[in-house]
Each structure stands twice: as structure tokens, then as C-alpha cells.
Structure 1
Amino acid sequence: MSTRRTAVTPDGVRFRDLDGDGVMAPYEDARRTPEERVADLLPRLSMPEKAGLLFHTIIGVGTPGEHDAPAGISPHSTRELVGERLINHLNVHALPSPRETARWVNAVQELAEQTPHGIPVTLSTDPRHSFTENSGVSFEAGALSQWPESLGLAAIGDVELVRRFADVVRREYLALGLRAALHPQVDLATEPRWGRQAQTFGQDAATSSQLVVAYLQGMQGDRLGTDGVACTTKHFPGGGPQLDGEDPHFPYGREQVWPGGRFEEHLAPFRAAIAAGTSAIMPYYGMPIGLELDGEPVEEVAFGFNRQIVTGLLRERLGYDGVVLTDWGLVTDAEVFGKPFPARAWGVEHLSRTDRVARVLDAGADQFGGEVCTELVIELVDSGRIPEQRVDEAVRRLLLVKFRLGLFDDPYVDEDEAERVVGGAESRAAGHRAQAQSVTVLSGADVLPITPGRRLYVEGVDTEVAAGYGLVVDDPDAADVAVVRLSAPFEPRDDYFLEFMFHQGSLEFPAEVVDRVTALAMRVPVVLHVTLDRPAILTPFAGVVAALTVDYSASDAAVLDALTGRVPPRGRLPFELPRSTAAIAASRPDVPSDTADPLYPYGSGLTPEAVSPR
């Protein structure tokens, strides 16, 4: 137990004296159940304290103890958020070293102790164990161990590996003081163009359902407790079937459709997550078009505002009683770094900020992601528009998670432990091996693996890394084999804030890329390797290159380990690879494997046994 702000009862029990009165209140008594402690604390809270609990916003990691300056992407200081607005759920972005992060976390928790009832801060994070660097989605691993994206874990298809991976994530997060994960993401990747597929488990409902259970077991355990990390499963009721594959972060991508009638299929992973005890669920930004539930048309407003979806479907039909956390920025229109970033209030754009807050609470959500407008909740309660018992219902759920995590008893972390655990050698080795295993060999069994001593010409691969696998030459004509690494194509866009980080639009490679690879293949056998954060149209390369392989985020060393057989590749495609843009346009966004005559169907991939030296 931390020695900060503690007291001792007359009978010798030491406790955290969070309200500073020297007397152990029931909510300060670690011997009581979380439910008993919530029941005691809730009536003690003022309306501003309750309102603060309803917000979960971004914070930059600054200098430990310097709480008065904005840090990172947030315009708000830590003192304003925690000490003044009494917000105690904070989403961290870029992190310094493990030791510096731990020191900053402890300073934030010390600040939280000074609030009226000392409610500890829950620090959350988006995924940060792979390669994606997009502040609206995920962060590159940095000091943490690095693994393939969830697509790569799905390509391997090993339930126990996913459980072990989640356990690594849990232990590294715990060491850093990160007690809430804004993941896993279990949307089904059924629209090939959609830009949020990398962090999913692919297109298959049964696979996603199995893997999300293993993921939650690794992160939360069978029951969330003091050694767990509270998970938010997203994006309910499934974000895959976006119209034309556009993303609803942006106004042009707000519509979600189900022309194939597969709505229930997209719900399947969420049913599994609920049964496995997910701590929270996040509705998506999308706005349903033409959807019916139980014979009734669903209102065409974004899911976070949608009472039929959150209360009717999630709460009542599926029986979910945990936290519902909205996606980020449903209320406030913003301009960030000179770019517009309108609130994702699709279908209710005409409403005022106050009315949007009322709609979210009425829909059944408990917490606002990425917002800080606590005054609007207070105003709605004071005016009688929102009953205080509705706020209490949300506060009870949110406090229960904090008590189950043990944050009220000790939210602090050990700097030495953070440095020891985060990015440990064993975890890094396991992540590297998973990256290599996830590589999927689509063709080229007669030229793979690349045998030792070969002369290699490389493009898109670090030459120093490649030198560990063969003799690197500058002239393709002097090479035995060329290894060319490409990333899946996308259309660059930059009209809205964050838009340039999202890979959207066409899946076709530019003509100059196709021509370059084709010309190279006429001079030397080419192993073409493509990193897929979503499908790509590889048709122009079929029959041209000697081998075609893909990964789902991997280092050059991991890719070359797979291509040379040092780590046998075992990946299978977690989605199909369409043959053409026309086939995609004719497909139904909610139906898996719905493009005509795909170049490579779902599950394609040569086994290690099929890939042998020449």
C-alpha cells in the first residue's frame, strides 16, 4: 500500500485517507467489497465530482509534477482536468521512457489525492504494441514489446498465442500504470476498402469471437481484479460495413449499411466479449442506414446517440450492464492544427452541444470520450432535463471498475519495475517470432525459402538488416533473387484533422509501381512482399513475380526470418484479396468473402511444409 496520504484506525489498520478526515470511511476500507464501497462513496459525491467521472479525455504526458502547462495534443493542463474539472479518466498518447512514464503517472495520482474524495485517475491507452502510428487509432510500440497487428494474430489463428500476447500487454501496462485499454477491436473486416482493419481480427465472426475471449482473458482474467487491465471492446455493433468503405471519423464516411442482411453476424464477437466480461463497450461513430431491429426501423443517428442500439439492443436484448464509453468527440466541433474536426454527431448535427450531451445520456451511454464539457452535464441536471439518478447510474458503473482494479487502495507504480518489465527481452522475442509467423506465403513455394549465401537485391528493406541473410548487391543483374517490400496502397487525403493518417480509398497500386516491379521481374526472380493494413489488389503482380508474400505489420528482420525459413511462416489470409476494383464495388459491405472471383480467398496461405528449399 502506498505511504502517501495514509492514516491508521484506532485498532491499527492503515488506510488511504482519501477525504482527509482521519477516519476510515467505508469506501476507504480495502476489506469491503467493491459494491459496498461504491454504495458508500456515491452519496458523498457532489454534482461536479459526478460530472467529472462521466468524461474520459486525452492528456499529454509532460514533466512529472508540472501540472499547469498543456502537454501534447491536449489544450488542457493536468491541473485543469484533474484538479478543477475533477475528470479522472485520462487517455494518454505519446509516452517517454518507462521510468519517466511511471514517474509522471505517480505525480498525476498524487494530484488526484488532493481532490475532495481522492478519486484516483484511470489512465487508458489505445493499442501500442505494434507498428501503426495514428493518434486517432493506435501507437507504435516504442519501448514496449512489438507484435503484429491484430490482423497478424488472426492470420496465425492460435487462440493460446492471443492469450499470451494479451498477458504481455497486461503486464507491460500494469508496470506503466495504464489500467484501461481502449481495445480490443472486434469489427468484422467485410468491406475491403475500410481503413480500420489492421486492429481487427479479420472478416470471420467465429474467429473474432474466439480470439476476443482469449484476449479478454489475458487482459482482465476470468474476473477483473487488482492485477487486471479493464478492456473496452469496440466498435459496437460492428464498424465493418461502411458505405464505400469510408471511415466515419469524417463527414463523408458517416453511413453504415447492411445490404446483405448480416447484422447479427457482426454482433457475434460482441456477444462473446459480453459473456467473457468485457469491462466496457464503445459504440461506433457510424450512422445506420435502412437498419431494422425486431421489425422496427432504427433511427438514422450515430450509434452513440442511438437509444435503440445502446439501450434497446446492448442493454436490454444482450443484457450488458457494464460501462458504455462513447468514441471520441461526439459533442464538440473543433479545429486542430488548422484543420477542421467536426464532432461526429452524425444525424444530430443540428443539435446544440447541450442537446447532444442529453441525447448521449438518454441513449444509455455512461461516459463521453474525448470531451471535457462537465459543465453541460451539471446544467442538464440542474435544469431537470437529465435526472440525477441517470448520472448516478453511470457513476456507479464507473466507480465499480476503479474499485475492482484496486486503484483506491494503491494507484502507484514502481519506476524500477516499469524499467524492468516494459519491453523485456522475452516479450520482445515472442513479439518478433509472432511477426514472422504471421507472414502469409501466397505463391512461390518453388523459390522459398531463400537459402543461405544467396546474392540479394532489395528494395523497401533495410540493407544492413538484409546483409544478415545473404550478400546484398546493388545491381539486380548480379542478384540471385530480389526482395521487394511494399505497403498496401491508399489515397492520400488531408482536408480534416487526422485524415492524412487514415489509409482509405482505392486498393490499386499506382501504375508506376506496377511497371517498376514488372521491369525488375524481367531481370531477376522477385519475391514481392506486401504489408497489409487492409486488402490490396495484387492482380497485376500475379504470374509476374516469382513469389508473393504478405504480412500485417512486421519488422524487416521478421519478414526475412520468414522468407528464409528461420521462423517458418504460418499465416493464412484473415480476409480475401479482391481481384479488381469493380469486384469490390459490386460486393455487399456487410458480407464476408463477397467479391467475385477473388485473387486469393479468405484463408489462403501455403503451410511451412509446402515451402521447401529448391
Structure 2
Amino acid sequence: MNATPTPPTNPATPLPYRDASLPVDRRVEDLLSRMTLEEKAGQLFHSMLMMNADGTPVTETDGSILPFTTPELIEGRHLTHFNLLGSYGARAMATWQNAVQEMAAGTRLGIPVTLSTDPRHSFTDNVGASFNAGAFSAWPEAIGLAAIGDPELVFEFADIMRREYLSVGFRVALHPQIDLATEPRWARQSGTFGSDAKLTGELVQAYVRGLQGETLGAASVSAMVKHFPGGGPQKDGEDPHFAHGKEQIYPGGMREHHLEPFKAAIAAGCSQMMPYYGQPIGTDWDEVGFGFNKGVVTGLLREQLGFQGIVCTDWGLITDSVIFGEPHPARAWGVEHLSVAERAALALEAGSDQFGGEQCPEVVVELVRSGRISEARIDASVRRLLREKFVLGLFENPYVDPDAAAETVGRADFAAAGAAAQRRSLTVLTNTGKTLPVSGRPKLYVKDVDADVAAAYGELVSDPAEADLAVLRLRTPHEPRTNIFESFFHSGSLAFPEPELTGILSFLDAVPTLVCINLERAAVIPEIAERAAALIADYGASDAALLDVAFGRAAAGGRLPFELPRSMEAVAASRPDVPNDTENPVFPHGHGLTL
């Protein structure tokens, strides 16, 4: 147990941990020696913050979204790692991060805050997984980058993302997500690099190097790769954010195959790793969620694969929560019967360094004081966490320039690169009768396409019977879920239900139609594919991107990053751990036409 903390000395003679000329390890040990148990415990929690639209920290809360204010977490609970929720302007984000860092600088030891973010550069808006681009440059989803399949482009994207993130103060990316998309119904596929393990490995290496550089340093954004050991093989495609989706299974015996992308990420030097919620069933691993699983975190990740970085659990493993006013149990799959303290102890013993989405350091303090967990075990994780702060240069340069942030985020050349990638990712699946590319200025009828955008390509008509060509945008079907939070995770059937399907097919029979379907999952669309005049898949692309490709102003280069099944019966019969395992798919993995 630590003695009374050492008080700060004369600022003219900086403490060793404040001396940038000293080796990082010495600075870490000096700071660690000065920390109280409470201050150490605070480092083990990676919680969430929101901000006011004007760039000021949240100092009042009714507890409906987040249970504590920013000062309560930083000053009262000693937390210094936060994930920012919500979308805001660049200048406001930079102003806010400076205010948060100033608050942290005023604490006893002045440990700077490490800010993180879920993906912010595409079209998905899911409070539990990602935010739409907003002020940032807009790119296809990760699955669209996989459709392009170019590591050089992924490196360019990650480097642009790094510069935009740095400008507003984000130093940890809670991505990339490198699970293999092997269960067609799983809700998280749009954030993956598809079903191909080899390609995913190549793209994650480019992604990590674009974010971090060859080595982690002051110009880096740390990559938290997820979800170890691969979250794709979910039973029935349900997601383990929710109790009915907790089981992860390997009926095809391809568990090792799902590890291949993670080996590539470790080889690229990824700084952090996030285990998933899933509870493995029918393997030689303990049947407990991966964040609690010593055989997976310590035995596999650290000892077998040699990962030396930070392990942060996925969000909300140990305490129950209320999300959108609805109760959600802790995702403590396999250990639901344990107390909060027992769950925390099990995760620490498994080898996890940090609890994502939690803010209860008092639990760790009590575990140490009761003798359940040694302070030496806490120190081991705190060393890793402090070391990254020093390596990222946060002690020397915690602040950012709001003017520079406003100039950098969404910069014209960044936006142009993202727009070009949107066009390149589009995948032409059919082109019946050589409908594409469209020539001239035809009479156009558009549905779920911005009319103001479409007017630049043809003469708009209000009656499809008058149209030379219709343009219809669709999204992969999903089954509505009554739980508000779960409704963001599109799950269930991939086929259009009746009478919606009949309505779509009647429309396609009435007028030659270019159909563009957004593939956040692998849609079941055999009838639509047969009757559309042309069929294009997108993975996050603007109306202008689609129409540029349709009218030959840009080239589509995408290839399907997973197969498109023929029926839901084929999906149900497939093995969730085996890539592209449905019988007689409508379009195989890798399909795509060149116009």
C-alpha cells in the first residue's frame, strides 16, 4: 500500500515525471510512485463524456444519459480516459478538449486526459458503435474499403483520419474493427473489412500504420483493434450487446481462421486491443465472455500472440445501466451470477487493463483493500496506461488549436479523397441490357434520392410512367426490435418482407430502374436482382457518387466483400464461423462488373 502521496515541489525544479528529457519508463515509475490507490484505480476506467454544443464541458446532468458530470469524473473519481459521444463542430470539439485538459491539469498530479472516439468518417449513426461524418471527411464504411481492397487507399484514409482526429484532440481510435463477416445476419458487418481473412489482415496493417505511424509517438493516434478473438461467429447472427445474442459458436471448426487478422494487427504494432462480449460455446475456452476469459486474454493474446499493449474491455461488462430510459443488464455473459466486484476481479485476473464504459473506481479500491486483488496487479495495468500517455506526448502538449481544427477537419482535399473513395467502392452487380452508363439527359424518376442532386443529371418527372429511367435506393432489410438501443443494431431477416417486396417488384416491372442497395449486411435480393435494369451495391455513398457512376462520370471499382445469399433458408443452414458458406448464392464473394 502506498504511503502518503508526495506533494508537488517547486515548479522551477520539475518532478521527474514532468521532465521530457528522461526516459519514458523512468517517468512512468516516478508518477506511479506518487499516485494514491484511488488515483491508480481511476486510470482503469475508460468512460464516456458528452459536451455542450458551445464547446463547454457538461457540469450538470439528470443522469438520464450519463450518470456523472465531467468534473465529478475527472476531479472526484480520477478518471483520465474518455470516449466522446455525439457529433459536434470541429472548433467546438477542440475548445471542449482544451477545457477538459485544463480541468485535468488542475488535479493534484495533473495527469492529462486521453480522448477516444468511435468511427466518425462515414454514414452510419449508431450511438453504440459509430457516428456519421458530420464535420469530418465522409468515406465509405469499412466494408466499402474492403470492396475496393486497396491497402494504399486504406493507409491514405487512416492518415487523413489521424490528422483530423489530432486536430480536435482525439488520441485513441476505438477501431478498426477486424472481425470477419462470416454470419450474414450479424449487425456489425458494415464496420468490418468483410469475409476474407487475408485481405482483412492486409487492410488492418495499412490502417494501423496510417493511424500510428511505424511506431507510436507524439503524432500518432493509438489504434484500439477489435473485437478479439473475432466477433463474427454469433449464433443466429444476434449481437452480444444483448443477452439473446451472447453465444459465439464455431460449428465449422474455423476458430483459428478468425485470429488471422489479429495476428496481422499485432505485427503492425497496434497499441490497444478490445475483447468482445461474446461467450464461447463448445470450445476448450471457458464459457465466459471474452473480457473475463483468462485463457483468451492472457493465454492466447498475451502469451501465444505476444501482444504487449493495452487491453480494454468492451463497454458495460460489470455494472447494469440505463440506456434511453430502458434498463440493460451488464454484459457479464457466463458470470451473471457474480457481484460487480467479483466481475471486476475476474476481468483483472483475466488480464484486462481497463474497463470500457464504466466509472466505478471505488470497486477496484475495495478489491485491493480487501486483499482480493494485489496493488501490484493494479500497477501493472496503470504502467501500460501511463506509458501510452507519455509516448503520445500528452504531458508536453495536451492542448490543441481550435483555429487549426476548423481548418483541418473536413478540409477540401480530405473531403475530395473521401468522395472519390465513395465512387470507387460502388459495386455494379447487374447491368441488364447495358443500361449503364446512362447517356444524355433522360427523364428521371427518383425515389429516396435527393431531387436537387438528381436534377443535374436528367429531367425529373413526378410520374414513373413518364420516366426513361427510375433510380431507387434501398437499404438491407432488418427486423424491428422494440428495445430502443437494440433498434440501432439491425438484425434478423435479410429478406424484404411482404407486401414491401411485391411493391418493389411491381415498380421494377413498370419502369426500367437502377436499384442501389446499401449493404450494411448481406441482403437476400434474388427477385430484385433479376428484375432491376441495373443493380449497384453501396456501402456508404452520396447520391452524387451514385449518379456519377451511373452516368459514366466516375468509375465503380468495388467487388462484393461477402456473398449475397439466395434465401434465408440458405442463411440459416450456413455455419456462422465459415466465410461465404451459403448454398448457391445469388452473387459470390468478389463479384462485381466493370462498366
- Normalising by the smaller structure, the TM-score range is over 0.9
2:154 corresponds in structure 1 to 162
- CA separation in 2, counterparts of 1:19 and 1:173? 33
1:338 match? 325
Distance, in Å, in 2 between the alignment partners of 1:236 and 1:166 is 21
CA–CA distance in 1 between the matches of 2:435 and 2:318?
55
Matched, 1:589 2:576: yes
Distance change in 2, residues 1:20/1:473 (3 Å) = farther
Q: Pick one of 509, 532, 554 that aligns with 2:496.
A: 509
Match for 1:458 among 426, 432, 446? Answer: 446
Describe the shift of the 1:90–1:111 C-alpha distance in structure 2 as closer, same or farther (beyond 3 A).
same
* Equivalence for 1:4: none
Letter in 2 for 1:372: Q
Q: Deviations over 1:197-254 (max 9, x none)?
A: 0110000000000000000010000001000101100000000000000000000000
Amino acid paired to 2:417? A
How far is the alpha carbon of 1:338 from its aligned partner? Answer: 2.6
Unaligned runs of 5+ in 1: 1-17, 292-296
Letter aligned with residue 483 of structure 1? V
1:440 aligns with 2:430: no
Corresponding residue for 1:15? none
Following the alignment from structure 1 to structure 2, what is the Cα–Cα distance between the partners of residues 49 and 197? Answer: 38
- Aligned counterpart, 1:540: 527
Q: Structure 1: how far apart are the matches of 2:51 and 2:23?
A: 33
> For residue 395 of structure 1, what is the aligned residue in structure 2?
382
Measured after TM superposition, the shift of residue 528 of structure 1 is 1.1
Residue equivalent to 1:479: 467
Q: Give the secondary-structure state (helix, strand or coil) at the position aligned to 2:139.
A: coil
| Matched ranges for 1:245-324 at <5 A | 245-291=237-283, 297-324=284-311
1:417 corresponds to 2:417 = no
Of 99, 103, 111 in structure 1, the residue corresponding to residue 103 of structure 2 is 111
Q: Equivalent residue of 2:403, what SS? A: helix
CA contact (8 A) 2:237 2:576 kept: yes
**Structure 2 counterpart of 1:522:** 509
What is the distance in 1 between the residues matched to 2:166 and 2:221? 7
Assess if the C-alpha contact under 8 Å between 2:9 and 2:15 holds in 1.
Answer: no
The residue type equivalent to 1:21 in the other structure is N
The match for 1:96 among 88, 105, 117 is: 88
Provide, for residues 277-332 of structure 1, a one-character-per-residue CA deviation record: whole Å limited to 9, x for no partner: 111000000000011xxxxx211000001111001100111111100000000011
Question: The residue matched to 2:313 in structure 1 has which SS?
Answer: strand
Secondary structure at the counterpart of residue 259 of structure 1: coil
Q: For 1:558-585, what per-residue CA distance to the aligned partner results, in whole angstroms no more than 9, with x for missing partners? A: 1111211211000000000000001011
2:32 to 42, 51, 59: 42
Shift of 1:335: 2.3
Please identify, of 113-122 and 91-100, the stretch whose mean Cα deviation from structure 2 is larger: 91-100
User: Quick check: 458-467 or 335-344, which moved more?
Assistant: 335-344
Question: 1:548 Cα deviation (Å)?
Answer: 1.1
Equivalent residue letter for 1:361: L
Amino acid in the other structure paired with 2:190 = A
Contact 1:70–1:78 (Cα < 8 Å) also in 2: no
CA distance in 1, matches of 2:9, 2:435: 71
Kindly indicate whether the alpha-carbon contact (under 8 Å) linking 2:55 and 2:94 is maintained by their aligned counterparts in 1: no
Taking the aligned partners of 2:351 and 2:117, their CA distance within structure 1 comes to 23
Tell me, what secondary structure is at the counterpart of 1:514?
Answer: helix
Contact 1:507 1:581 in 2 (8 A): yes
With 58-67 and 411-420 compared, the bigger mean Cα shift is at 58-67
Do the aligned partners of residues 571 and 342 (structure 1) sit closer, same or farther apart at CA in structure 2, a change above 3 Å counting?
A: same
Q: Percent identity?
A: 55
Aligned to 1:74: 66
Q: Distance in 1 between matches of 2:92 and 2:400?
A: 11
| Match of residue 115, structure 2, among 113, 123, 144 | 123
Distance in 1 between residues matched to 2:55 and 2:459, nearest whole Å: 48
TM-score by length of 2: 0.97
Question: Does the 8 Å CA contact 1:58/1:92 hold for their aligned counterparts?
Answer: yes
Match of 2:44 in 1: 54
Task: For residue 521 of structure 1, report the CA deviation from its aligned partner.
Answer: 2.3
Instruction: Tell me which amino acid in the other structure corresponds to 2:185.
Output: R
Secondary structure of 2:555's aligned partner: coil
> In structure 2, how many angstroms separate the alpha carbons of the residues matched to 1:347 and 1:66?
37
The letter for the 2-side match of 1:31 is: S
d(CA) in 1 for partners of 2:98, 2:384: 25
Task: State the alpha-carbon separation in 1 of the partners of residues 182 and 485 from structure 2.
Answer: 23
Deviation at 1:471, TM superposition (A): 1.0
| Contact 1:441 1:569 survives alignment (8 Å) | yes
- Does the aligned pair in 1 maintain the 2:50–2:58 contact within 8 Å? no
The equivalent of 2:4 in structure 1 is none
Instruction: Calculate the aligned-residue CA RMSD, in Å.
Output: 1.3
User: 1:61, CA displacement in angstroms?
Assistant: 1.2
* Equivalent residues of 1:19, 1:118 under 8 A apart: no
CA distance in 1, matches of 2:293, 2:588: 36
Q: Does the Cα contact within 8 Å between 2:324 and 2:485 map onto a contact in 1?
A: no
Conserved 8 A contact 1:82-1:111: yes
Match of 2:197 in 1: 205
TM-score, normalization by structure 1: 0.94
Alignment of 1:18-33 (within 5 A): 19=8, 21-22=10-11, 23-33=13-23
Residue 468 of structure 1, aligned match among 446, 453, 456: 456
Q: Alpha-carbon deviations, 1:462-493, whole Å to 9, x = none?
A: 11111111111111121111111101100010
Provide, for residues 407-450 of structure 1, a one-character-per-residue CA deviation record: whole Å limited to 9, x for no partner.
Answer: 01111000110000001111111111111111100111611011
- Per the alignment, residue 186 of structure 1 pairs with 178
Kept in 2: contact 1:578–1:598 (CA 8 A): yes
- Residue 482 of structure 2: aligned partner: 494
Distance, in Å, in 2 between the alignment partners of 1:576 and 1:19 is 61
Q: Deviations over 1:138-163 (max 9, x none)?
A: 00111111100000000011110000
Task: Identify unmatched segments of 5+ residues in structure 2.
Answer: 1-6
CA contact (8 A) 1:60 1:73 kept: no
